[in-house]
Amino acid sequence: MRTIKYLFLAIVAVLLITIGFANRQSVILTLLPDDLVPFLKFNYAVSLPLYVVVLGSIGVGLLLGFIWEWIRESKHRSEAVHQRREKAVLAKEVEKMKADRNEGKDDILALLDDNRAA
In a domain, 67, yes or no: yes
Number of neighbouring beta carbons within 10 Å of residue 51: 18
Q: Are residues 42 and 19 in the same domain?
A: yes
Q: Are residues 12 and 54 in the same domain?
A: yes
Residue 66 dihedral angles phi and psi, to the nearest 5°: -65, -45
Query: For residue range 64-113, what is the model confidence (pLDDT) as tens digits?
Result: 999 999 999 999 999 999 999 999 999 999 888 887 776 766 666 666 66
pTM assigned to the model: 0.61
pLDDT band at 34 (very low <50, low <70, confident <90, very high): confident
| Contact status, residue 97 vs residue 110, Cβ threshold 8 Å | no
Q: Are residues 57 and 88 in the same domain?
A: no
Q: Are residues 68 and 106 in the same domain?
A: no
Q: Are residues 47 and 104 in the same domain?
A: no
List all residues 6 or more positions away from 103 whose beta carbon is below 8 Å from its beta carbon.
Answer: none
Residue 27 belongs to what domain range?
2-72
